[in-house]
């Protein structure tokens, strides 16, 4: 029960940050599932992708569209890339050792963090 409340809190925080910054899965949900729930990187990535299938972006995207901030042409192209990329990434993530995936993800987060903090 406590884990479900923690996961609900992660979802709420990720939803707010997704609506605010357009982030969620890789930057918020995956690290928090690893740190707070004890998932492996692979479990966290799979669970995050399953949660993000449809409902997460729908209302946020609708509000941005209403405000005139959505380019549907680019969104469709991104969606196709995400569809193909998620499949390829999932196949790769499943085939690699958990430690390799976790280290690669950590390096990615550090690089993104440094870039955003000092070079934006």
78-113 pLDDT, tens digit each: 788 878 888 888 898 889 999 998 898 889 889 988
73 Cβ contact list (under 8 Å, min separation 6) = none
Higher-confidence residue of 83 and 67: namely 67
pTM over 0.75: no
pLDDT band at 118 (very low <50, low <70, confident <90, very high): very high
Q: Find the distance separating the first CA and the last CA of the chain, reported in whole Å.
A: 41
Is 44 within 8 Å of 25 (Cβ atoms)?
A: no
- 32: tokens are 């928090």
CB atoms closer than 10 angstroms to residue 112: 13
18-45 pLDDT, tens digit each: 766 667 777 888 888 888 999 988 888 8
What's the CA gap between 46 and 76, in Å, rounded?
23
11 Cβ contact list (under 8 Å, min separation 6) = 29, 51
Secondary structure, 3-state, 71-104: CHHHHHHHHHHHHHHHHHHHHHHHHCCHHHHHHH
Compute CA distances 3 → 6, 9, 37, 76, whole Å: 5, 10, 7, 35
Higher-confidence residue of 49 and 97: namely 97
For the chain, domain boundaries: 2-118
């Amino acid at each position: 029960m406590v884990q479900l409340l923690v996961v609900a809190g992660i979802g709420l925080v990720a939803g707010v940050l997704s609506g605010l910054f357009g982030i969620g899965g890789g930057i918020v949900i995956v690290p928090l599932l690893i740190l707070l729930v004890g998932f492996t990187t692979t479990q966290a990535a799979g669970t995050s992708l399953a949660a993000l299938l449809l409902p997460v972006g729908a209302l946020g995207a609708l509000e941005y569209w209403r405000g005139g901030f959505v380019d549907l042409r680019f969104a469709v192209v991104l969606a196709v890339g995400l569809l193909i990329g998620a499949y390829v990434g999932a196949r790769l993530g499943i085939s690699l050792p958990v430690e390799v995936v976790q280290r690669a993800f950590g390096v990615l987060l550090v690089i993104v963090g440094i870039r955003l903090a000092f070079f934006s």
